C-alpha cells in the first residue's frame, strides 16, 4: 500500500503529546476527513501518545498518509521500549488501567479507528498501530 508521506515525532514529554495531537489534526484535515473523523483521529493519537509516554517511558510516533486505490487513510504508529503489556486481552478491556486513568486508552482507540493492532513483548516494549480510512 503506497505511503504518500510520512513523519516521525518523538514522544518524550507532555509537550510532545500535544505536538502529536496537532500533527494528527493537520494531517487528517489535509486528507479531507470529516470533523467527526478528525476528532476521532486526534483523540486516538492523544490517548496512544500519552500511553507511550506514561506506560512506555517515552518513544516515538509515526504518521503516514496512505492511498489504496481511491481510498485515502491515515496510519498512526506508537512505539516504545518500555516494560510491555503482560496481559494484552485484559489491557484491551474498557476500564482496565494501571495508571489511574479511565482505562479507555487502548479500547477507546480501537473503537475510534478503522484498524487496530498491538504488538507487545514483556521487557521489550509495545507498538500500537491504528489506521482510519476515509
113-133 residue pLDDT tens: 999 999 999 999 999 999 999
pLDDT per residue as tens digits for the range 11-54: 999 999 999 999 999 999 999 999 999 999 999 999 999 999 99
The CATH number covering residue 8 comes to 3.30.565.10
> What is the total count of domains within the chain?
1
Three-state SS for 93-115 is: CCCCCCCCCCCCHHHHHHHHCCE
Strands (E), the chain: 3-11, 59-68, 71-80, 115-121, 125-133
What cell numbers appear for 63 in the block?
Answer: 504518521
- What percent of the chain has a predicted confidence (pLDDT) above 90? 79
Q: Which domain holds residue 119?
A: 3-133
d(CA 92, CA 80): 18
Flag whether the pTM goes above 0.85: yes
CB proximity list for 79: less than 8 A, separation 6 or greater: 52, 59, 60, 62, 125, 126, 127, 128
Q: Note whether 47 and 56 are within 8 A (CB).
A: no
Amino acid at each position: 500500500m503506497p505511503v504518500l508521506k510520512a513523519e516521525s515525532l518523538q514522544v518524550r514529554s507532555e509537550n510532545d503529546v500535544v505536538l502529536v495531537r496537532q500533527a494528527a489534526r493537520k494531517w487528517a484535515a489535509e486528507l479531507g476527513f470529516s470533523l467527526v473523523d478528525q476528532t476521532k483521529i486526534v483523540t486516538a493519537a492523544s490517548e496512544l501518545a500519552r500511553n507511550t509516554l506514561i506506560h512506555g517511558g517515552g518513544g516515538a510516533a509515526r504518521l503516514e498518509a496512505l492511498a489504496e486505490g481511491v481510498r485515502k487513510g491515515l496510519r498512526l504508529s506508537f512505539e516504545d521500549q518500555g516494560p510491555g503489556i503482560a496481559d494484552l486481552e485484559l489491557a484491551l478491556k474498557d476500564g482496565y488501567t494501571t495508571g489511574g486513568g479511565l482505562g479507555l486508552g487502548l479500547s477507546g482507540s480501537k473503537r475510534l479507528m478503522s484498524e487496530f493492532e498491538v504488538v507487545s513483548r514483556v521487557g521489550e516494549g509495545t507498538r500500537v498501530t491504528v489506521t482510519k480510512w476515509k
